Each structure stands twice: as structure tokens, then as C-alpha cells.
Amino acid sequence: MEKNILLKIKKLLFVFLFIILTGCSQSETLEDTAPYAFKINDTIYITRCEIVRENTDQIIVLGTISGVDPSSQYPVENDHANFEDMLDQEYGKFNDQIVGYFNNQWNIFYTEEEYQKIVDPS
């Protein structure tokens, strides 16, 4: 039980430090927000704010985010994000990855399963 609590605290600290160090800031506190995400074709994609730095001309645009759901949850509807910066912005495919455009740059997004493996590799 105690080990489980320590593991959860460790995960929260990792996410908090990552957001601070990468500059991908959310306006609310971590307890009040879900990670930046959008929903496409019934799949949730989550970003760790990793930027596509090269070959952005090879991105294939697939669509545009048309709505924003509350930041306290993952998006419920397709083509919705849970943060304002993605509203009316494009998402696409780069190599085998899904990317979204916000803060004047393309960012890599992961499925929930991929994201969990990155955040908690154990």
C-alpha cells in the first residue's frame, strides 16, 4: 500500500518536473487538468510537448480541431482538444506519428497506451 502511494507521488513529481522543464505550461494546477490531448476517430492522443524540429514540410494534414472540452478531462468528441491553443489548429501525420500544431510549432502526440508506456515504463 505504502509502495503504491510512493509510486503515484513519484509519477506526479515526474510529470510536474517535465512540464516545468519543457516549458509546456498549463494555466491550471496539475490536479485540475488532464494532459494536453485531442480526440481523432475515437482515439485520444496526448502530447508530452515534444516538438517536430525537422522536415515539417513532410507533415500530412489530416484535419482541424473544431472544439474544446474542459481541461479537467480528456476530450469527449472527435476533433476536439482539451486546451484552447489547439482550437482551429491542424493535426496531421508525420512518419508514423500523429502531430498537432499549437504554440506556432508541430508537437508529437501519442495514443493513451503509448503515453502510459512512456510515463510509466515499468
pLDDT for residue 7 is more than 90: no
Judge whether 7 and 1 are in contact, CB under 8 Å: no
Q: Can you give the pLDDT at residue 84?
A: 93
Which pTM does this prediction carry? 0.73
Q: Can you give the pLDDT at residue 33?
A: 79
pLDDT for residue 6 is more than 70: no
SS3 category, 59: coil
The predicted-structure confidence for 60-101, as pLDDT tens digits, reads as follows: 999 999 999 999 999 999 999 999 999 999 999 999 999 999
The predicted-structure confidence for 12-57, as pLDDT tens digits, reads as follows: 555 544 554 444 544 444 456 789 999 999 999 999 989 999 999 9
